[in-house]
Structure 1
C-alpha cells in the first residue's frame, strides 16, 4: 500500500511512501523512502507521467515534484530522464551519418572522440545529470593520463636503447659489425590543448542537438572549462632555401604538384583532387572545389576491389559549398602546361591501359589517382634528401602565404587567395610575418601627410 504524505494536516497529492499491508505506521515513518508521481499535459494533447523514489523525507519528494512541474511549464524538462549519455551520443552519431550526411572524415573523428573518450568517462551517467564539471574533469584526466603514457613510453625506449648499446659493445669486442637494433614501443600522440578543444567540440555538437530535442535544458559542454590553445608560430623556409629546393626537385614526377602547392596555396587533398576541367591556363586561373582525402581514397580503393565503382573525389568542406577560384602566376602556368604535355605522352604510351576517368591533373604513371598519404611520404623524402628543415606538407601552404606577405600583398588579398573563412584567421596565423612590410607600410602612411620641414 502507499502511505500519503500529510503536511500541516493536508494531504500532499502525488507524494507517498511505498509500504507493505502489514507494515506498522511507526516503521514506515522511520525506514521507508518517499516517492512522487506527477502527470503532465503535453502540447500535442497527450499526457506523460514522471515518477521518482528514494527520497529521505516527504518534504524532499514534494519539493522534487514541484521542481518537475516547474521545468515542465518552462519547457526545460527532459523528454526522457532515463536516457544515458552513451545512448544519446550513439543515436546522435547515427543521425549525423545517415540523415545529416556529414563527411566521412568528420564522422570518423566524432566516432573516435565518442567511443575513446566520452563513453568510457561519462557514458553511464544520465544525460540530464551531466554537468560542466564532469566535462572539465574528463578533459583534465585525459590530458594527465596521456602525458603519463608518453613519459612511460619514452622512458622504456631509452632503457631499450641503453640495453642495445651495451649489447653492441660486446658484439664489437667479439668482432661482430652488425649493430643491435633496439626494441621500441610506440609513443602515443600528445593530448594537448588543441586536442582537448576538438574532443570537447564533438560533445558540444551532440549536446546542442540534445537541447534542440528538449532532452536537456542547457549545453554543459559549452559551459565547461577547457585549456587555451596557444597558436604555434608558422616558420616558413626563406625564399632562398625554397628556391634551392624547388630547383633540386625539378626532375621529380611530383614537382608540378609541389610547385602549385607553393605558389597557389592549395592543400594536399585539393592538389590530389584537382581536375583539368577546373583549370583554365589561358585565363591563368583554377577553381578549387574538390579534394581527395586519405579516407575517400581508401574507401574508393576498397570499393574497386569489391567490383564497385565510387568516386575518389569529395566536395570541399566550405560554408556555401561553392567552387573557389585561385589566380596563377605565369611561371606556374608554364609548369602546368609542361606537365600536361608530359601527361599526354604517358596516356598515349599506355593506350587503353591508362586510367584517369576523373581527368585529374596529378596522377600516378598509369593515370590512377594519387594516394594523399603517399604524396606526404614523397614530400618527406625529398626534404630529407636535400637537407631541408623537417616540416609537414601543409607547410607549402604557409610558404604561399609568407611569399605574398613578403612581397607586400595586403593581408585581405592573402586571406582571399588562401580561401580562409575569416581574415582574422589569416592575421592570427601569419601576422608575425609582416616584418619589414609593416615598416614599409608605416613609412608610406607617414609620407602621405604633407608637412612643413624646418631648415
Structure 2
C-alpha cells in the first residue's frame, strides 16, 4: 500500500482514522497539500488516488476557504431540494438563513468545531428559542456536516460531538365544555369562526386545519 516519492502519503491518526495527503491542483491554478480520510488504510488510499487522478485531469480540489454559509447553500440547493418536500425545504432554508448563517456562516467549514456549535446553540437558547427549535437547528447542522464528511470536505462530523437534550414532553390540558362554549361564543361572527369551530369540534391540529381546501369539504353530506 506504499506510494512512490511525490505521490503523497497515507498514515494513521491518533483518533484511529486513516489520512491520505498529497499536493493537488487548486481553483487558483496552484498546488496545495490536501487531505482525505477513511476508516481503513485502503479507504484512505483509494480516496487519495481518486483525488490525484482528478488533479492530473485538471479538476481542481475543493477550496479550503469554503465557508459554512457557502457549503450550507450548496447543500440545500444540490442535495436537499430534491429530497425534501417544498414545505420542509422552506423550513430548513428559514432555519439556515435566519439562525445558522448569521452566527456561523462566515466561519470556514474546515475550521468549525464542536465548541463553535455549542456556543451557537447556547446563543439561541438565551435568545428564547424553544428546546425543540434548538434541537432542530442542531439536527440540520449535523445532517449537513455528515454530507460534508462523505464528500471529504471535513475529517469528521463535529456536530455529533454535541449533545442536545430532548425537549421535555409538554402535558396538554384540554378545554372544559364550558370553556369551549365560551371560546366559540367569542369567535362567533369573526373571520376565524370556522377555524375555531374545527379546532374545538373535531380536535384538528393547526397544520391539519390550515391545510384544508374547499375540495376537502362536502357541505351537502356533512363530510370533511
**TM-score scaled by length of structure 1:** 0.34
Cα distance in 2 between the residues matched to 1:209 and 1:65: 14
Q: Is the 8 A contact 1:89 1:206 kept in 2?
A: yes
Relative to structure 1, the CA distance from residue 117 to residue 262 in structure 2 (aligned partners, 3 Å threshold; closer, same or farther) is farther
Map 1:143-162 to 2 at 5 A: 143-144=125-126, 146=127
Cα distance in 1 between the residues matched to 2:190 and 2:37: 75
Return the match for 1:93 from 54, 76, 86. Answer: 76
Cα distance in 2 between the residues matched to 1:193 and 1:227: 8
Map 1:411-450 to 2 at 5 A: none
Does structure 1 residue 193 correspond to structure 2 residue 131? yes
Residue 285 of structure 1: SS of its match in structure 2? coil
Cα distance in 2 between the residues matched to 1:269 and 1:65: 44
Partner in structure 2 of residue 306 of structure 1: none
Partner in structure 1 of residue 180 of structure 2: 242
Cα distance in 2 between the residues matched to 1:65 and 1:13: 18
Relative to structure 1, the CA distance from residue 205 to residue 265 in structure 2 (aligned partners, 3 Å threshold; closer, same or farther) is farther
Relative to structure 1, the CA distance from residue 75 to residue 96 in structure 2 (aligned partners, 3 Å threshold; closer, same or farther) is closer
CA RMSD of aligned residues (A): 4.1
Partner in structure 1 of residue 22 of structure 2: 38
Provide, for residues 263-300 of structure 1, a one-character-per-residue CA deviation record: whole Å limited to 9, x for no partner: 223344543442332223466432xxxxxxxxxxxxxx
Cα distance in 1 between the residues matched to 2:219 and 2:72: 48
Q: Is the 8 A contact 2:37 2:44 kept in 1?
A: no
**TM-score scaled by length of structure 2:** 0.61
Return the match for 1:72 from 41, 44, 50. Answer: 44
Cα distance in 1 between the residues matched to 2:95 and 2:180: 34
Provide, for residues 350-386 of structure 1, a one-character-per-residue CA deviation record: whole Å limited to 9, x for no partner: xxxxxxxxxxxxxxxxxxxxxxxxxxxxxxxxxxxxx
Q: Is the 8 A contact 1:89 1:114 kept in 2?
A: no
Q: Is the 8 A contact 2:142 2:160 kept in 1?
A: yes
- Any gaps of 5 or more consecutive residues in structure 2? 8-20, 25-30, 52-60
Does structure 1 residue 139 correspond to structure 2 residue 139? no
Does structure 1 residue 115 correspond to structure 2 residue 101? yes
Q: Is the 8 A contact 2:37 2:155 kept in 1?
A: no
How many positions carry a matched residue from both structures?
187
Cα distance in 1 between the residues matched to 2:37 and 2:188: 77
Does structure 1 residue 233 correspond to structure 2 residue 205? no
